[in-house]
Amino acid sequence: MKTPLIVFPFLVSSSSVFAAGDGVSLVSDELIKFGIFPITNSMVTSWIVSLFIIILVKILVGKTSLIPSRGQLIVESIIQNIRSILEPIVGRRVFFPSFWLLSGLFIFILVQNWSGLLPGVGTIGDGHWVGNHFVVSKPLIRPGNADLNMTLALALVANICWIYFIVKYAGIKAIIKDWFGNKADKTQTHFLVFGLLSVLFIAVGFIEVLSVLFRPVSLTFRLFGNVYGGESLLHSMFGLGNSTFTMAAASIPFYFMEVLIGLVQALVFMLLVSVYIGLICNHEEEQH
């Protein structure tokens, strides 16, 4: 996805080589290993992104005060905008306990998506020369969300926290009633019809359980597929033509499209998790 102008050829010793335009590798590369724990280039990217977010927020906010500084005002505005989106979905009771998760997912995924578009990500590392182009086969820093392990970890964390929230703030009884309970009004429904509907809702409940089990899979592949596809597309566009100008001209429209897609995918991931929480924990607002 990168222009040859920002490729830094060093440590030119590679075993698995892909030609320019083939796209990013499906598998992250192991940089170093501590015992049985490998450190991959995707992990390095996620650590850098996390450190960047922490330092940026610390610099912007500094020491909080009743009269906010410009940086504190920026952070508070972002929080307020996220709150206006999430609170009606998850409900007031669960909003504050779940805000750290939902806002963290959004900001982390957004910065991860956009970090893959920066110069140097995916273009510094091992490789070799092919004609006039240096082909990087083992990048030192790899787009984090283009790694299936990263998106799977995000989906698993989100779903584990979802289980915690619905059990704590709704309860097992409310969960069972939501999945298997008869939604018909017993006082206004004939008992035979009510009995048939009970059987139907129990069957629907098992389907709901299956959909819950597949949620981590859908969250994982939705984010991974969009990010990996965009990275591969940009990589292919930069592989077109014989000059840097031609490559850049072909990829610029897709580059800005990926900026928008990075924002949309972070928003979609956050909203889906919030909807999962709100479906069970936000019934009191519906009754009101």
Degrees (nearest 5) of the Cα angle 172, 173, 177?
115
Question: Mapping DSSP to helix (H, G, I), strand (E, B) and coil, where does residue 134 land?
Answer: strand
User: Please, which pLDDT band fits residue 19 given cuts at 50, 70 and 90?
Assistant: very low
Measure the CA–CA gap between 71 and 68, rounded to whole angstroms. 8
**pLDDT, greater one: 48 or 178:** 48
Q: State phi, psi for 135 to the nearest 5 degrees.
A: -100, 120
Question: Mapping DSSP to helix (H, G, I), strand (E, B) and coil, where does residue 185 land?
Answer: coil
Instruction: Decide if pLDDT at 16 tops 60.
Output: no
178: Cα separation from own chain's centroid: 28
Measure the CA–CA gap between 169 and 161, rounded to whole angstroms. 12
How many domains are there within the chain?
1
Locate 230 and state its tokens.
Answer: 């965009």
Q: State phi, psi for 2 to the nearest 5 degrees.
A: -115, 155
Measure the CA–CA gap between 101 and 271, rounded to whole angstroms. 12
Please give the residue range of the domain that contains residue 173.
4-287
Helix H or strand E encompassing 169: helix 148-169
Helix H or strand E encompassing 212: helix 191-238
Q: For residue 8, what pLDDT is reported?
A: 36
pTM metric for this prediction? 0.78
User: Please, which pLDDT band fits residue 18 given cuts at 50, 70 and 90?
Assistant: very low
Half-sphere exposure of 79 toward its Cβ, with a 13 Å CA cutoff? 13
- Under a CB-based contact definition with an 8 Å cutoff, are residues 109 and 269 in contact? yes
Angle between helices 41-61 and 148-169 (to 10 degrees): 60
Q: Pairing between strand 8-9 and 124-130?
A: parallel
Locate 79 and state its tokens.
Answer: 């929080």
Q: For residue 1, what pLDDT is reported?
A: 42
**pLDDT, greater one: 127 or 42:** 42
Among 74-88, 95-109, 181-195, 210-224, the range scoring the smallest mean pLDDT is 181-195
Locate 74 and state its tokens.
Answer: 């920026």
Residue 226: closest CA among 265, 189, 273, 199: 265
Instruction: Decide if pLDDT at 30 tops 70.
Output: yes
Residue 142: closest CA among 20, 265, 53, 235: 235
Residue 147: closest CA among 107, 115, 101, 103: 115
Query: Which segment, 97-111, 126-140, 187-201, 230-244, is predicted with the most confidence on average?
Result: 97-111
Question: Mapping DSSP to helix (H, G, I), strand (E, B) and coil, where does residue 66 land?
Answer: coil
Rounded mean pLDDT of the chain? 78
Measure the CA–CA gap between 277 and 180, rounded to whole angstroms. 17
Residues 190-212: what's their mean pLDDT?
78
**Alpha-helical regions (H) of 62-190:** 70-90, 92-115, 148-169, 172-180
Instruction: Decide if pLDDT at 22 tops 60.
Output: no
